[in-house]
Amino acid sequence: MNFSNAFKDPVLCRGLLDRLRAETDAPLRFMEVCGTHTVAIFQSGLRPLLPEQVVHVSGPGCPVCVTHESEIAAYLELAERDKVIIATFGDLMRVPGPGGKTLKSAQAAGARIEVVYSPVDALSLAATHPQSTVVFLGIGFETTTPAVAATIKTADRQGLKNFQVLSFHKLVPPALGALLSDPDCAVDAFLLPGHVSTILGTAPYNFVAEQFHTPGVVAGFDPADILQALLLMVQMRRRGEYAITNQYSRAVSDNGNPKARSIMYEVFRPADALWRGIGTIPDSGLVFTDAYRQFDAMEQQELTLRDVPNTPGCRCGDVLKGKMQPDNCTLFAKACTPARPVGPCMVSTEGSCAAYFKYNIGS
């Protein structure tokens, strides 16, 4: 069976849509917490087909979007230093920091910045540039962090002295807790991230159901996956059940990937972290364990997170919390476009503002 096409099958999807329409008997406001879901929902043209009572809001699911202004300021400061080469995934290049500065503008002003596709590429860069320190910008969720941790272990084994990581990694479950603890939170169910869950499994989400009586479905990224997940949510809500269900069993095992987690927690440990628009969330970030502190760019480069004023007018924080649809922001598509983004949600291809701008036809 060709899995890559089976879950896109229009006949299967139309059948699921019919069932969803038939079974939806109450409003369902669902939030996805993965940028890939955001894009998939728009790209497949699913949004205009959903029953009117099923409302889609985007959550803090794009790692670029939740990166705090202070963190952006820190890596921009680092980029300007002599003998530092920044290695980064491409999405960060255009994210504006204080004063509108970006990695792109820093690069144009002479900073050495390399876009890499994998943290391992940053390691090769360090090996070929022994006179400089290569700092990999560690921004991402549980999906990508184990690979960064494994790269650090490799650097350790190879005795590489000029490779460091700036760890602004974040963890998804604590962010869900923070959202749900907000009394204004109006989310009926979560579409849980398929990629992150390949590492985490389903257990770390159980508190969502147990403590907050909110159902969640771990789902894949094809239209049939998303539709089946919505159907499961509607059915759970109707029966008054609160559970975490795994729709994406072809990729996600209930126990996730224990080996990847153990590598991640050998190199990093949880610590409080700053989220854009949300603020500090306890134990929601990852910092270096003592055994690997020689790779910690924060410590080795003596960086600190400074207070950075909020960007005036930018409502990315409300968008990330699902309190506002992107096109209700006064800056949307006017002062803030993908070419001249004000906030990170407009920069990253997986940001909800960028997805709205790119895909939403508007009224």
Instruction: Please name the residue ranges forming H helices in 248-339.
Output: 258-267, 297-300, 316-320
Contact 240, 22 (CB under 8 A): no
Task: Name residues contacting another protein, limited to 56-75 (CB under 8 A).
Answer: 63-64
Interface with another protein, residue 42, by CB under 8 A: yes
Interface with another protein, residue 14, by CB under 8 A: yes
User: Contacting another protein (CB under 8 A), which of 1, 48, 82, 110?
Assistant: 48
Decide whether 30 or 357 has the Cβ nearer to another protein: 357
Distances (CA, A) of 286 to 18, 139, 238, 248, 282: 43, 10, 38, 26, 11
Give the x/- contact pattern for another protein in 207-246, rule: CB under 8 A: ----------------x-----------------------
What's the first-to-final CA gap in the chain, in angstroms?
40
User: Contacting another protein (CB under 8 A), which of 19, 29, 77, 93?
Assistant: 93
Decide whether 1 or 361 has the Cβ nearer to another protein: 361
User: Contacting another protein (CB under 8 A), which of 10, 15, 279, 282?
Assistant: 10
Q: Which of 278, 357, 362 is nearest to 39 (CA)?
A: 357
Per-residue tokens: 134: 């290569």
113, β-bridge pairs? 86
Interface with another protein, residue 350, by CB under 8 A: yes
DSSP string across 33-72 = --HHHHHHHHHTT-GGGS-TTEEEEE-S--TTTTB-HHHH
User: Contacting another protein (CB under 8 A), which of 31, 78, 139, 155?
Assistant: 139
Decide whether 58 or 143 has the Cβ nearer to another protein: 143
User: Contacting another protein (CB under 8 A), which of 115, 180, 308, 324?
Assistant: 115
Q: How far is the CB of 224 from another protein (least distance, A)?
A: 9
In the block, tokens 């004063």 appear at 99
Interface with another protein, residue 361, by CB under 8 A: yes
User: Contacting another protein (CB under 8 A), which of 68, 112, 195, 315?
Assistant: 195
Task: Name residues contacting another protein, limited to 273-332 (CB under 8 A).
Answer: none
User: Contacting another protein (CB under 8 A), which of 38, 44, 214, 325?
Assistant: 44
User: Contacting another protein (CB under 8 A), which of 36, 214, 284, 311?
Assistant: 36
User: Contacting another protein (CB under 8 A), which of 90, 258, 279, 282?
Assistant: 90
Contact 88, 114 (CB under 8 A): yes
Q: How far is the CB of 323 from another protein (least distance, A)?
A: 24
Phi, psi of 361 (to 5 degrees): -70, -30
Helix, strand, coil in percent for the chain, rounding step 5 = 45, 20, 35
User: Contacting another protein (CB under 8 A), which of 29, 51, 98, 121?
Assistant: 121
Interface with another protein, residue 21, by CB under 8 A: no
Q: What angle do CA 332, 335, 337 make, to 5 degrees?
A: 60
User: Contacting another protein (CB under 8 A), which of 75, 141, 292, 295?
Assistant: 141
Decide whether 317 or 351 has the Cβ nearer to another protein: 351
Alpha carbon distance 322, 320 (integer Å): 5
Alpha carbon distance 308, 217 (integer Å): 36
Residue 92, number of CB atoms within 10 A of its CB: 23
Counting every residue, how long is the chain? 363
31, β-bridge pairs? 57, 190
Stretch touching another protein by CB under 8 A, among 87-95, 159-167, 240-248, 291-299: 87-95
Residue count at the site for another protein (CB under 8 A)?
48
In sequence order, the 6+-apart residues with CB closer than 8 A to the CB of 220 are 7, 194, 226, 247, 248, 250, 251
User: Contacting another protein (CB under 8 A), which of 15, 27, 45, 100?
Assistant: 45
Point out which residues bind another protein (CB under 8 A).
4, 8, 10, 13-14, 17, 35-36, 42-49, 63-64, 89-94, 114-117, 121, 139-141, 143-144, 195, 223, 337-339, 348-350, 357-362
